Structure 1
Amino acid sequence: MAIDRIWSYAPGSAHTEGQDLTGFSVAATDGTIGHVDREDAPHGMRHLVVDTGVWVFGRSVLVPAGVVTGVDTEARKITLACSRADAKAAPRFETDSETRDPRYLTAVGDYYHRLPPRETTSV
């Protein structure tokens, strides 16, 4: 995955422009990680903020749009091209202001870009 593509939904993901993903469940390659709290695209860096609930001690994780491999609107489910451990190990998301900080977003994009390709399951 090219670094510039990390912030855009992949053509085969079934994401449609203007689609509201809030509340969709989010599954990594090895299980569910939470649900979409919100979507944002400051500085052209489109991403999801995923509420992990109790799985990661109630914290949220930020996932670039390019990590999304599938969007199933009927099941309200999103699949990712990373494992649960990958999402948990991503740069820590502390405050809402970070979702607009280009330095933080760049660090998150670099992290996901360097992950090895994962076998994805269907949505």
Structure 2
Amino acid sequence: MQPFPFVPFVWRDPTWLAEREDRDTREGSGEPRPDTGLIGYEVEATDGGIGKVDEDNALVPADCLMVDTGPWIFGRKVVLPVGTVHRVDHEERKVYVDRTKEQIKNAPEYDPDADPDDHRRRTGDYYTESYRLLPPML
């Protein structure tokens, strides 16, 4: 059992966000979108690269990252809750997550036509369960 519960939609270490919040906003809304500064960053699972933060990241809530997995799983787009992010390296332009490629591959696929609340619930349930079964591998 892990010493703390997994909260899928909360940044674990928000300190790096403070400097970005002022300039990164959702277009026209004024709503902070610090994650937009991550578009194009490589995403690294515990066992290797899984893709990049997609340019359509603003289509998902600010507490998620849309990742284009590229050809390794047939170009799927998956949504990762920000709670999976272990750290962000701006010099390398990489986002490190604490899940494996297999766990991300098995995550619910992003469907732009799906009910956003249902997709959020399924994604949150999937990752919460994965943390219960297999704690973060750091």
| TM-score when normalising by structure 1 | 0.81
Query: 1:90 — aligned with what?
Result: 107
List runs of 5+ in structure 2 lacking aligned partners: 22-33
| Structure 2 counterpart of 1:87, one-letter code | I
Query: 2:135 — aligned with what?
Result: 117
Deviation digits for residues 3-56 of structure 1, max 9, x if unmatched? 5x2101102x654143311000001100100000125426xxx10000011011
Query: 1:73 — aligned with what?
Result: 90
Query: 2:120 — aligned with what?
Result: 105
- Equivalences, count: 113
- Select the structure that is richer in strand: 1
Query: 1:2 — aligned with what?
Result: 5
| TM-score when normalising by structure 2 | 0.73
| Structure 2 counterpart of 1:118, one-letter code | P
Deviation at 1:59, TM superposition (A): 1.1
Query: 1:41 — aligned with what?
Result: 61
Any runs of at least 4 consecutive aligned residues in structure 1 with deviations exceeding 3 A, and if so which?
A: none
| 21 and 97 in structure 1: CA distance in 2 versus 1, 3 angstrom threshold | farther
List runs of 5+ in structure 1 lacking aligned partners: none
Deviation at 1:92, TM superposition (A): 2.3
Q: Secondary structure of 1:9's match?
A: coil
Supply the distance in 1 between the matched residues of 2:100 and 2:78 (Cα, whole angstroms): 13
| Structure 1 counterpart of 2:85, one-letter code | V
- Select the structure that is richer in helix: 2
